[in-house]
Structure 1
Amino acid sequence: MVSKHVRFSDEVESDYGIVYLNKKMAEYNLNMNQTIERIFSEHELFQKMLNNHDELLVEKIYERFKRDLDVIRVRTGYADKNARIGLELWNGYILTNNQENYVTTELVETKALQQAREKVEGDIAAYRQKKLEREKKGESVSDPT
Structure 2
Amino acid sequence: MRFPWLNVEVKVVDDFTEPTGEEHLALANMERWSDSLRTRIERACFADYLDKVDAIAATPPTVPVIKRPEHIWRHVEVESVRAQGPELVVVYAVPEWDIEEQHEWCIHGTDDLIYVGQVLCYYPNGYYGIEDFTNSARDYDEIIEKLEHLPQEW
TM-score > 0.5, shorter chain as reference: no
Q: Which has the larger radius of gyration?
A: 1
TM-score, length-scaled by structure 1 = 0.24
Higher relative contact order (CA 8 A, sep 6+): 2
